[in-house]
């Protein structure tokens, strides 16, 4: 149980750090097109976690055994994606002046690995809540928000990189290698 609390704090602190450190800067941004997707995503995460915790059952080792590896794996994938993007990563949908299309590393497998990692984290936490209701109220709203955000991001990337991004879309899946 203490490992779950530690992972919860790690995830929360890392996301709050990103909110402050990786927000796009006025002078370095070429294009900004968030369309409220960051606020929508955070609202769904907050509502989902709050509702999920109210509907949760006491944690048990069976569900922790499934959830904890998802959380840890998701954190690793999310941070690899963020680190590989470097200065091009922003929490709001923005394209920096010096940004180039990233198609290697983890981005060779999926177009949005940081969201893949986030969805793994969210799914892992919902599984540890030991309740199907918790799973539904946490995973479904966050997934909807992530899919909306991906649409906003892909529109901005298509606008910026044109045919290069179009080819990249055809060559890679959105979130899950070889599947979706």
- Cα three-residue angle 95-27-12, rounded to 5 degrees: 60
Would you say residue 27 has pLDDT above 70?
Answer: no
Q: Would residue 78 count as lying in a domain?
A: yes
Q: Would residue 121 count as lying in a domain?
A: yes
Query: How does pLDDT run across 103-118, given as a tens digit for each residue?
Result: 999 999 999 999 999 9
Percent of the chain exceeding pLDDT 70 equals 98
Q: Would residue 54 count as lying in a domain?
A: yes
pLDDT at position 40: 95
Q: Would residue 16 count as lying in a domain?
A: no
Q: Which residues pair with 32 in a beta bridge?
A: 94
Task: Count other C-beta atoms under 10 Å from residue 63's C-beta.
Answer: 19
**What is the number of structural domains in the chain?**
1
Q: How many residues does the chain have?
A: 180
Q: Would residue 163 count as lying in a domain?
A: yes
Q: Would residue 159 count as lying in a domain?
A: yes
- Give first-to-last CA distance, the chain, whole Å: 33
Q: What average pLDDT is seen over the chain?
A: 92
pLDDT at position 174: 97
Q: Would residue 136 count as lying in a domain?
A: yes
Which uninterrupted H or E stretch holds 133?
A: helix 132-161
Q: Would residue 122 count as lying in a domain?
A: yes
CATH number at residue 128: 1.20.120.1630
CB 37 within 8 Å of CB 112? no
Percent of the chain exceeding pLDDT 90 equals 72
pTM of the predicted model as reported, rounded to 2 decimal places:
0.92
The CA distances from residue 137 to 13, 57, 74, 141, in Å, are 22, 14, 19, 7
Domain that holds residue 156: 31-92+103-171
Would you say residue 60 has pLDDT above 80?
Answer: yes
């Amino acid at each position: 149980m203490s490992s779950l609390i530690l992972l919860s704090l790690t995830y929360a602190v890392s996301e709050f750090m990103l909110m402050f450190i990786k927000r796009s800067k006025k002078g370095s941004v070429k294009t900004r097109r968030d369309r409220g997707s960051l606020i929508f995503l955070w609202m769904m995460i907050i509502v989902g976690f709050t509702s999920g915790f109210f509907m949760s059952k006491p944690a048990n080792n069976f569900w922790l055994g499934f959830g904890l590896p998802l959380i840890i794996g998701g954190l690793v994938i999310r941070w690899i994606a963020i680190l590989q993007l470097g200065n091009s990563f922003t929490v709001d949908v923005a394209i920096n002046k010096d940004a180039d299309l990233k198609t290697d590393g983890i981005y060779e497998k999926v177009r949005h690995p940081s969201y893949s990692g986030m969805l793994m984290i969210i799914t892992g936490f919902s599984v540890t809540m030991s309740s199907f209701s918790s799973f539904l109220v946490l995973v479904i709203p966050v997934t909807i928000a992530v899919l909306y955000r991906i649409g906003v991001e892909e529109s901005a990337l298509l606008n910026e990189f044109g045919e290069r991004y179009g080819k990249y879309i055809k060559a890679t899946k959105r979130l899950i290698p070889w599947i979706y």
